[in-house]
Structures are given as C-alpha cells and as structure tokens.
A and B are shown apart, each in its own frame.
Chain A
Amino acid sequence: LGHGSGGTLTQSLIDEIFYPAFSNPFLQQQHDGTVLPLMSQHIAFTTDSFVVSPLFFPGGNIGDLAVNGTVNDLLCCGATPLYLSAGFILEEGLPLEDLKKIVKTMAKAAEKAGITIVTGDTKVVEKGKCDGVFINTSGIGSIQKNLRISPKNVTEGDIVIVTGPIGEHGVCILSTRENLGFESKIKSDTVALRSMVMNLLSGIPNIHMLRDATRGGIASTLNEIADTAQVSIALDESKIPIEEPVLSACELLGLDPLYVANEGVLLVILPPEEAESALQIIKNDPNGSKAEIIGEVVKGTPGEVYLNTALGSSRIIGRLSGEQLPRIC
C-alpha cells in the first residue's frame, strides 16, 4: 500500500476493496452521509477504536474484533444492533492482501451479527504513524421502550453470571504478539453475542446489568459496576470458568486472569429469582455453553469486589492503575 494524497488511491481502495465487501443499499447512496430509517423511539449509539497488535491472531483479526466489539456494546445497552460505521487508518506499506482479508472478515462478522455497515472512511498515513491498521467502528441500535439496563439498577441480592471462560483474548493476543507458544492452544474468544443477548432480553426483561468484560477483564468491569451502583460484589473463585491452557499461561506469566481482557464474554447481573432461567438461556446459546453463576451482590463496603477463595478466605479484587504491578514484599 502506497501513501496516497487522498485522491485516486483512496478511491480505488474504496472501489476495489470496501464496496465489494460491504455492499448494501445504504452504502450505495454514495453521499456525504447515509440516511437511515429508524423504528424505535430510543436508539443506542456507541463507538470504539481498535488498535490491536498483532492484526491477525488465532480466533480472528482486527476486522471481526472491530465489528464484534461494537455490536457487543450495543447489545449490552439492550439494543438490537442495526447500523455500523467503519473508519480505517492504514499505514503505508500495509500488504493489500492483509487489508482484503481484514475487510472480508469484517463483512462476514457484520453479516453474522446482523448489523449493516452503512458508512465508512479511509485514511492512509505515513509509515510509522500507525501500526498497520487502526479501525474505528460506531454502531447504532434500536431499543425497546421498557428496558432499563444500567449499573444503577444493580442491588443487593443480585446474581452475577459470566457467559463464558475468561482471559482467552488477552492471553491469545499477548502470546501471539510475543510468540510465547500458547497460540496453538488458546484462541481469542472474539464473537458477537447477538442471539444470546436477544434471547436473554426477551426471556428476562428485568435484567439489571449487561457488560462486556473487555479491557481490564472481569475484575475491572465489576469494580466499575460496584462503584457506580455503590454495592459490594462477592465472587466465588471455584465457579469462575477458566480453561486450563489460559490458567497455566497466566500462572507462567504471573497474570491474574480476572484482569485479562475478553472479547466475547459478558457479565450479566440480575435478580436472584431470574438467575436459573437466565443461565439456561445463556447455556443454550452456542457461545454460552460454559456460562456460570460466579457471584452475587452483597451487603458490604460500597464499591468493593472480592473473591471467596478455595482456601476459605477472601481476597479483595482491587482496581489497578495500569499493569499488574508486583507488590509482594
């Protein structure tokens, strides 16, 4: 890929790569913006930028990651994903083949997630100004009126469900980037959880909170929720699903899997009487077969998350300022 001055090169990229891949009537409008029909009073609107390195990893690439991430964010708002924008920043010298692969994966992911890519943008920057490809996606979804999913609804007694084994994406990315050798066993879990969430929302209208546990893992996500809702959350160590390869990789790396990123794992918080049926709905979904009830919202210090360990004591799961820093004296 050469560095274009914004003229013919970019146009040819659009014509040869993006249009064919994403082709749909909205995109055909060929305008400064896309005009979209909406069928609900409320919409959810979200945006996210993806700068993952490496671009390709077991289980996916930056393309489906960018689609799934934004779709999951919409779903967590209780929205039906509808439209997606895609902005690309491409580094000079990026192999065209790579771009094609990424775009193709995106198209497939969007189709699978039932979202339409309706607008986009591309910029090519000088070598060294970005890392291969950066993608920004923004998404719009429609919301049924009476759903109110918000951390503020989380109250004492609520149950916390995790929809799948944790830590796979983060460990996979680290391992692939540094060539640590776990890639063969650990794939990124990137996936859009549309069917799972749609079924949950229609089956259990009074879900209090949905959240995808991406950066910072379930630990950071739960801390944010506990903080906003001013509640305490107790987790049961023995219930948290982690696949053996992830566990042993984390052991070697000295990482606490609770803080490792996921890309296809949601935290679901809901009243206790709904917990079992919600768990069944999740488990019936192909992406939720390993879901578990991992904890509950309890009386305690507001904002505190802790883990009841297998040894019978409990450990505070704090917020981290950044990396997992050594602290053992």
Chain B
Amino acid sequence: MISQYNIHIKGLVQGVGFRPFVYRLATDMHLHGYVDNRNDGVFVMIQATPSQKDDFVKGLTTHKPDVAEIETVTVLEKPVSKPLPDFFIAPSREVDNHITRISPDIAVCDECLQDLISQPHRIRYPFINCTHCGPRFSIINALPYDRPGTTMSVFRMCPECEAEYTDVRDRRFHAQPIACNHCGPHYHLFMKNGYETVDYEEILSRMAAVLRQGGVVALKGLGGFNLICNAENEKAICRLREIKKRYKKPFAVMFPDVPTLSHYLNILPLEKEIVSSWRRPIVLLEEKQKIGTGINDGYKTVGAMLPYLPVHYHLFASSELKALVMTSGNRGDNPILTDNDAALSDLLREVDLFVEHNRDISNRVDDSIVQVVGSQPRIIRRSRGFTPEPLSLKFDTEGILAFGAERVSMFALGKDKEIILSQYIGDLKNRETYLFYREALDKFCLLFRFTPRYLVCDAHPDYFSTQLALQLAQRFQIPLLRVQHHHAHAAAVMAEYGLTEDVIAVCLDGTGYGDDGCIWGGEIFRCNQSEYRRIAHLPYVPLPGGDAAAKSPWRMAVSYLKSIYGSKADYPETFIERLGESHIRQIEMLIEKGVNTPLTSSAGRLFDAVASLLGICDENTYQAEAAALLEQIAENGISRCYPINSDNPLDLRSLFDGILKDYRLSVPVSEIASVFHNTLSAMLLNIIIQKVKTERLTTVVLSGGVFQNKRLTNLLIKQLANRKISYYLSSRIPCNDGAIAVGQLYIAALKKRG
C-alpha cells in the first residue's frame, strides 16, 4: 500500500550536499517524489510503502553526509494525490527573506583527499572541494548561496567541472566552489628578492625547505593568512614571536594526523572526535611530551589541530615535519590579514616566504578553539567551522541586534526564532578590529537580509560597541536596551539551553560595569530572562589604577592584602624583592587616597592577585595570562582546602591567611595553586548550596570567562553533581565575553515580546 510521506528535516542540512544525497538515496531505492530546500530545512516527499518509508528515514540518518547534522525528522502520512513518475530535485524556492542557512567552512573530506591522487584534472589540486567539504561562509558575498554570490564568481568553470556540477549523481553536483587544475584558483609565491612563481610543486618544496631550515612562512589559508614555522625549532618560534610581537601567549600547533598528535599529547576519545571533526577546531590538550621550547612555556596544555586544507597535508608530506606552529597572520592585536595586497606589504619583508592565492576571502574567520570540560565540548573561540550556525530558540527574535562586549567582541542578530552569532572579532579598541566589527555587521545584515529594529548593548557607557549602538539607535530612531554585563553572561547560558525559569547564576569574569558604578566580576544572581537580583558577590576590593590593575596582577596582590590586613599587610619577601618596596608603597597610597581606584568584585582579579603573590605572574602581557598560568601550574592529586567561613562563604580572609602561611613555609607553589582552586571551588559550592536553599531554586547557571579554567570548573561541577544540583554551563557558545551578545539578545527578545 503506497502512501505519500511528507518528510521535514531540520538541522544543518543546507549547503552541505544534502539534497543530492537525498536524491541518491531515493533513486537507489527506486522511490518517486522530490526534495526541496525550505526556509527551515529540507523537505522531502516520497511515495512509498510504510516499510520503504522506514528504510528511507533510517537511511537519512545512517548515510547522511558527515557534515550534515539532523536535529529533527518529522514524517506526515498523506494519501497519494498524484503519482509521480520519478524522483527529482525541485528548484529552490525564492522565499522572501528567509534563506538564512549558510554552512560554516568545512575541512577537506576524505573522498576529496582520495581524488587528489586519482582524478586526472585534480591531481594535487589544492583547492579541491565537493558538496561535502570546502569553503562556505568564508567565501560568501551574498545570498542565495550559489557561485555568483561567492568569491568563486570570477573563476569560469571548465567543461569538465561544469559536467560534474550539473550531474545530480556526482559528488560535486552544485558544489559552488567547484574547481580543478584547469579552471580554479592557484597559489602564488613571493620572495623578498622579487622572485615569484605560481608553480604549486615548486611552492610546496620551497615552503618545505624554509620550514625545515627554521624559517617562517606566510601562507594564505581559508579565513585569513597564517604564519607557519617548525614547532620543534626554538629559534624559528622566537622569530615568529618577534614578527608577531607576541612574546608569551602560547601558539597553536598543527599535527599531520592523530597518531603523530598522540605521540606528543594525551587525547581522550571525545577530544579525538572533536579535533578530527569536519569543523577542525583547535583543541586544548594535555602535553605528554614537550614539543618545543617557546610554544607554551608555563603551560601543560597545547592548542592542537589537524590539517583542514589540502595544502596542509601536502606541506606535512613534503617537509616531513611532525608539528607546525600555525598562527594567525597579523601583528600585535590586529585582526588576521585577509587581503593579498595588505598582507604582502605587511608580511613579505618579515617572513622568508610569502604565499597567497587568488580566491578572495569574503568573511574573515580565525581558527576556533574548543576544550573538553566535564565530558562536554566547550567552545572558547567560535569562528571557522562554526560561524554562522545559528542557535535555535522557542520564540521570535526577528529584528534584534545585540552588540556584545568589547575585549572579546562578537555581535548577534535575531532572525525568525534564531540567534545568529558573528564570528570571533576581537578587541574593539584596536582600530582594525573595530573596522572588522563594522564590516562584519554590514555583511551579516546583507547576508541574512536583516533589518535591525531593536538594539541591545552592554551597560558600560564607554564600550565602543555601546557607543556604536547609541549612534545607530539615534540615527535610525529605534529602541535601545542596555543590559548589565553579568546578566547577559547568565542569559547566554539560559539561551543555549532554552531556560526561562528563575536560576541561581554564578558569573565569574574579569570586568563588567555594575549597577552601582563598581566593577563587577564575581557575582551570584537570582535571575531569569528579564530581571536579576544580586544575592551575593565576592568582597569588594580596590582596583588601583583601574585598567592598570587588570594589566598588573601585582597591584591586585597589594589590593587584597591591604584590604584584608590593612596596615599589617605582610608581603612575602620575594614579592617585595621583585617589585620593590617603593612601588608597593605607591599602590598602597593610591588605595588610601582612592585616586582612580574604583571597587571591584572581579573573580579574574582574585586569580591575578594569587598568581602574583606566588611569583607566577606580575604583569599580564595578554588577557588572563596570570589566571591561566596559575591554573596550569596547579598540581593534581591534592584535595585539601583552606578553611571556609560557613556564615560567609565568599569571605577571603582565611584563603589569603592560608596562602601566605603556606608560601612562607615553602610549600611548593604548585601545591598552593591547587589548594587555591580547591578552596575557591568549595567557597562557590557553599554559597550555591546556601542560595539554592534560601531562594528555593533548583537550577544553577555557571558563566563568565573564569569558567574557561578547566580545573576550577571540573571541581565545581563534580561537587554540584554529587549534591544533585543541576547546573548549566555553555557548550556551543563561549563562556567568555563572546557570549555577551547572545545573552543580550535573549534578554531583549523577552522584553520585545512584552
């Protein structure tokens, strides 16, 4: 008995070869019907028997393209209205403003890697791709997603490619960036002495030679230029640091394959799955064997990734190197370079080889970073391989534009019932980054046919994102909502899990503008989507010199000691030796006089203070350096805690008593760091238990950049689980300020709904 089945498939099913896959599946099963791209997914109609239908639906999930992610499949049975003679792909409907799905960029697939060896017109062709892999978001200029809307539009398909492109049974059917040796983009090498070549094999062998000799190569990648050197060559790393003016922050390392990676790093099955997924993010892994000096000094972890472009595979093969530093091609805190001319003039004189290609990058994307915490992937930096995948909500978000924060800025827009988060952008006070933010904003509005009708930004009056929001609200006469920073942090987690009920939110981060004009950052809220009440916070201490204190952890050491012990502050001898009595005295004076010394409850600054007291880091050269080093030095297997004041669990006095005493008794710093984490976790657990009881709530939300600290987070969530307290911690959205726009948007959506 043949019925007609209307099958609706939602998830990441567009731009990833899903329709041809459905076509092949249906025709292999000799089913009749059609497949069609819709606003919110793929629609399939088949005329089949119930058992054929079952097999078909099963086949959808078992044989789907790797990249495709099916969220839901709904099947509706109908009587056959009109028997169809075959199965076909219906042309995409031009639906009003709704074609919003753009796939993230996808690492080259195994089949394409195979084709590199066997397909005559694509032998070693480095821009090979198919409907299952290749560039997507990074090359798109306009919708709909087809070739003219991408930066591939300037390349004319050769007859061979065109035949594949139009053959529904071919893996390259409608592969928009399709290309081959005859018709596609190519690499172009430049040397300081004026030598140039476009011969790929020569470029490869020159790059391999330079890398082997300890040189630095600039290579245009997928979402921007990369700077590359041999990760096992200390001198090369030094030079790279000099070029980038990045002297301490760890570099990410690319390994040729999992076995090589596992030689250097410990990797769990879930981590292995993530690092080799088509998204190919950088994954933070524990070091088993030192790779090279200067990559991650002070760290036990390394940011590791696997090749995602054909050229990466070729580079490993021709250089026979085992680990390459692969970092963004930029200087200082500028955004990653994407433009050939700009990169050439900026980088050529600095590096040994400069290699660009002639496929333009339309949307800049950095490498994404993920770590596994509490057996969940947690994204830290969301860009390549993730952007612009939306977050689905249960209610309307249309027209809301959220501006995010400042130092780790990302914006978000509301489309239908989704939140579309921009790629990672960076620190807005950097002018190039601010321009990137503005450009990306324009691009997203265009790509997603988005018209802002409701704006939401941070409460900080001087964030550049706030100022831009104010300007736009005035120019277009649209309402603007300002959201407290940590409420946004909490709301971002609520958005990810669709929470609408009241929760206890623990927001730990560096700096957020508080309602009382103080600088918040160690906050316990009772909140929901529309309002929050601050029910506890880390004790206020002076922030001597404002931002200067965030740059100089030692100032916070002085601040805490002076706040807790007053004139009896007894600094460790080594601290005084390093910083000098007069400098310490000066900071004490700032605190006494209250000159440019606001109060702060920042958790980040607490880590800073402890790191400096222990002699781990007195000055931050990059964001959260002291806190990261304090986490990294902490030793495993130590379970003791400093005493906790059960009446006032966030009281810090006994914590500092303990730290100073241990330090004087020459307890190893690695042990003190560990005890500090244990104690902080126990303090948080205590306050949570207390508040869960008094507020009569059962759900806890954890958010803020401090939860990037794996040790603290693991300790706390284990304890929460033991106590059967349900907690939520972001997974697909960063917990740092990259989340702020999502939280802002979530809060605004409710306000707008009224």
- Of the candidates A301, A325, A329, the one having the most CB atoms from chain B within 10 angstroms of its own CB is A329
A39 at the interface (CB under 8 A from B): no
Q: Among B461, B464, B550, B593, which residue has its beta carbon within 8 angstroms of that of A326?
A: B550
Comparing B81-89, B191-199, B424-432, B638-646, the segment that makes contact with chain A is: B424-432
Comparing B112-120, B402-410, B412-420, the segment that makes contact with chain A is: B402-410
B551 at the interface (CB under 8 A from A): yes
**With A311-B245, A325-B513, A326-B550 as given contacts, are A254 and B332 in contact (CB-CB < 8 Å)?**
no
Contact digits for A160-184, partner B, Cβ 8 Å, 1 yes 0 no: 0000000000000010001111000
- Of the candidates A251, A304, A321, A328, the one having the most CB atoms from chain B within 10 angstroms of its own CB is A328
A325 touches B461 (CB 8 A): yes
B548 at the interface (CB under 8 A from A): yes
**With A178-B593, A253-B590, A328-B551 as given contacts, are A316 and B431 in contact (CB-CB < 8 Å)?**
yes
Chain B's closest residue to A308 (CB) is: B431
Q: What are 9 pairs between A and B in contact, CB < 8 Å?
A: A174-B595, A253-B590, A254-B546, A325-B598, A326-B550, A327-B406, A329-B407, A329-B512, A329-B550
Nearest CB of chain B from residue A54's CB, rounded to whole Å: 14
Complex Cα–Cα for A262 and B307 (A): 55
The interface residues of chain A lying within 8 Å CB-to-CB of B510 are 328-329
A36 at the interface (CB under 8 A from B): no
Nearest CB of chain A from residue B579's CB, rounded to whole Å: 13
A255 at the interface (CB under 8 A from B): yes
Nearest CB of chain B from residue A235's CB, rounded to whole Å: 11
Complex Cα–Cα for A220 and B431 (A): 17
**With A180-B589, A252-B590 as given contacts, are A313 and B333 in contact (CB-CB < 8 Å)?**
yes
The interface residues of chain A lying within 8 Å CB-to-CB of B461 are 321-322, 325
Complex Cα–Cα for A313 and B587 (A): 30
The interface residues of chain B lying within 8 Å CB-to-CB of A252 are 545, 548, 586-587, 590
B434 at the interface (CB under 8 A from A): yes
B673 at the interface (CB under 8 A from A): no
B185 at the interface (CB under 8 A from A): no
The interface residues of chain B lying within 8 Å CB-to-CB of A311 are 245, 331-332
Complex Cα–Cα for A327 and B737 (A): 12
Complex Cα–Cα for A323 and B543 (A): 14
* Interface hits, B448-462 → A, CB 8 Å: 460-462
A324 touches B546 (CB 8 A): yes
**With A252-B590, A311-B332 as given contacts, are A326 and B432 in contact (CB-CB < 8 Å)?**
no
Nearest CB of chain B from residue A199's CB, rounded to whole Å: 36
Complex Cα–Cα for A178 and B590 (A): 9
Contact digits for B390-409, partner A, Cβ 8 Å, 1 yes 0 no: 00000000000000011110
B332 touches A326 (CB 8 A): no
Chain B's closest residue to A315 (CB) is: B429
B549 at the interface (CB under 8 A from A): yes
Contact digits for A294-324, partner B, Cβ 8 Å, 1 yes 0 no: 0000000100101001011111101111111
Chain A's closest residue to B408 (CB) is: A329
The interface residues of chain A lying within 8 Å CB-to-CB of B334 are 313
The interface residues of chain B lying within 8 Å CB-to-CB of A324 are 546-547, 596
Q: Among A301, A313, A316, which residue has its beta carbon within 8 angstroms of that of B332?
A: A313
Chain B's closest residue to A253 (CB) is: B596
B511 at the interface (CB under 8 A from A): yes
Nearest CB of chain B from residue A305's CB, rounded to whole Å: 10
Nearest CB of chain A from residue B81's CB, rounded to whole Å: 58
B596 touches A312 (CB 8 A): no
B462 touches A327 (CB 8 A): yes
Nearest CB of chain A from residue B422's CB, rounded to whole Å: 18
B26 at the interface (CB under 8 A from A): no
Chain B's closest residue to A323 (CB) is: B596
Complex Cα–Cα for A316 and B436 (A): 13
Chain A's closest residue to B519 (CB) is: A326
B509 touches A326 (CB 8 A): no
Chain A's closest residue to B551 (CB) is: A328
A254 touches B430 (CB 8 A): no
Instruction: Give residues in B with beta carbon < 8 Å to A.
Output: 245, 331-334, 405-408, 428-432, 434-435, 438, 460-464, 467, 509-513, 519, 543-551, 586-587, 589-590, 593, 595-596, 598, 600, 604, 623, 705, 736-737
Chain A's closest residue to B434 (CB) is: A316
The interface residues of chain A lying within 8 Å CB-to-CB of B519 are 326
Instruction: Give residues in A with beta carbon < 8 Å to B.
Output: 174, 178-181, 251-255, 301, 304, 306, 309, 311-316, 318-329
Complex Cα–Cα for A247 and B732 (A): 44
A329 touches B623 (CB 8 A): yes
Chain A's closest residue to B405 (CB) is: A329
B407 touches A314 (CB 8 A): no
A329 touches B546 (CB 8 A): no
Number of A-B contacts (CB under 8 A): 114
Nearest CB of chain B from residue A229's CB, rounded to whole Å: 17
Complex Cα–Cα for A311 and B244 (A): 10
The interface residues of chain A lying within 8 Å CB-to-CB of B598 are 325-326
B407 touches A327 (CB 8 A): yes
- Of the candidates A252, A304, A322, the one having the most CB atoms from chain B within 10 angstroms of its own CB is A252
Complex Cα–Cα for A178 and B548 (A): 19
B593 touches A180 (CB 8 A): yes
The interface residues of chain A lying within 8 Å CB-to-CB of B431 are 304, 306, 313-316
Complex Cα–Cα for A180 and B589 (A): 8
Chain B's closest residue to A303 (CB) is: B471
Complex Cα–Cα for A290 and B561 (A): 43
A318 touches B546 (CB 8 A): no
Complex Cα–Cα for A251 and B462 (A): 20
Complex Cα–Cα for A322 and B513 (A): 14
Given contacts A254-B547, A329-B406, 9 further A-B contacts (CB under 8 A): A180-B593, A312-B331, A313-B332, A314-B431, A315-B430, A316-B429, A325-B598, A326-B598, A328-B550
Nearest CB of chain B from residue A86's CB, rounded to whole Å: 32
The interface residues of chain B lying within 8 Å CB-to-CB of A316 are 428-431, 434, 464
The interface residues of chain A lying within 8 Å CB-to-CB of B589 are 180-181
The interface residues of chain A lying within 8 Å CB-to-CB of B705 are 329
The interface residues of chain B lying within 8 Å CB-to-CB of A321 are 461-462
Complex Cα–Cα for A314 and B333 (A): 9
Q: Among A254, A255, A314, A329, which residue has its beta carbon within 8 angstroms of that of B432?
A: A314
Chain A's closest residue to B594 (CB) is: A178
A327 touches B511 (CB 8 A): yes
The interface residues of chain A lying within 8 Å CB-to-CB of B590 are 252-253
Nearest CB of chain A from residue B109's CB, rounded to whole Å: 37
B511 touches A328 (CB 8 A): yes
**With A180-B589, A316-B429 as given contacts, are A328 and B547 in contact (CB-CB < 8 Å)?**
yes
The interface residues of chain B lying within 8 Å CB-to-CB of A322 are 461
Q: Among A313, A320, A329, which residue has its beta carbon within 8 angstroms of that of B462?
A: A320
Complex Cα–Cα for A255 and B549 (A): 11
Nearest CB of chain A from residue B598's CB, rounded to whole Å: 6
A251 touches B548 (CB 8 A): yes
Complex Cα–Cα for A320 and B623 (A): 23
- Of the candidates A174, A180, A315, A322, the one having the most CB atoms from chain B within 10 angstroms of its own CB is A315
B600 touches A326 (CB 8 A): yes
A254 touches B462 (CB 8 A): no
**With A315-B431, A329-B509, A329-B511 as given contacts, are A254 and B545 in contact (CB-CB < 8 Å)?**
yes
Complex Cα–Cα for A311 and B432 (A): 14
The interface residues of chain B lying within 8 Å CB-to-CB of A306 are 431
Nearest CB of chain B from residue A180's CB, rounded to whole Å: 7
- Of the candidates A181, A311, A325, the one having the most CB atoms from chain B within 10 angstroms of its own CB is A325
Chain A's closest residue to B592 (CB) is: A178
Complex Cα–Cα for A253 and B594 (A): 10
Nearest CB of chain A from residue B376's CB, rounded to whole Å: 23
The interface residues of chain B lying within 8 Å CB-to-CB of A315 are 429-431
